[in-house]
Amino acid sequence: MATFYCGIDLHAKSSQICVIDEEGRKVGEANLKNDLSLILEFLKPFDNDLHIVIESTINWYWIVDGLAEAGYKVKLAHTLGLYMITGAKVKTDRRDAFKLAKLLRMGEIPEAYIYPKEKRPLRDLLRRRAGLVEERASCYSSLRMQFIRYNLNTMSLNALKHLNADDIDSMPLPEKLKTYCKMILDRIE
């Protein structure tokens, strides 16, 4: 029974797929629309013992889950780790898919964790929340810097958090800066 290795360079609308054999020779290559049924159909001739690797991109959930549910052995490659290994100056989708397949064949894939499907929504929500908290802190910092420029740096963080548009209007600031500060307050809310 032959073993095959498949590299998938996943993009928003399409995927470049390369399948190699145990000797590293290309035995299949295609650029397919991101449609699981099309991808499964392409992979069908290699069903015997096919190992698949996909670079971790923002849209990997559907394809990793679909391929795993179809019974394939799927690995997710860590993007930064791949860059550290390959560091290719000339990148094309075909080369990337081929390189993924070769690295998988050699056991050199820097593997990313495939988070359990049922836990991903909570993780994604927590990541978004962390991003929003960071953005809010950045907004408060921006307000504070504007006030310091005009020697209004006596305001505590607690007072800063309770500012409203009327408070901004009463400050000795240029009108355009007041408008900016109100925009920042709106963004925080």
How would you write the pLDDT of the chain (189 residues) with one tens digit per residue? Answer: 789 999 999 999 999 999 999 999 999 999 999 999 999 999 999 987 999 999 999 999 999 999 999 999 999 999 887 776 566 655 788 999 999 999 999 999 999 999 999 999 998 899 999 999 999 999 999 999 999 999 887 788 888 889 999 999 999 999 999 999 999 999 998
N-terminal to C-terminal alpha carbon distance within the chain = 61
Task: Name the CATH superfamily housing domain 4-114.
Answer: Ribonuclease H-like superfamily/Ribonuclease H (3.30.420.10)
Q: Which ranges in the chain are annotated with CATH 3.30.420.10?
A: 4-114
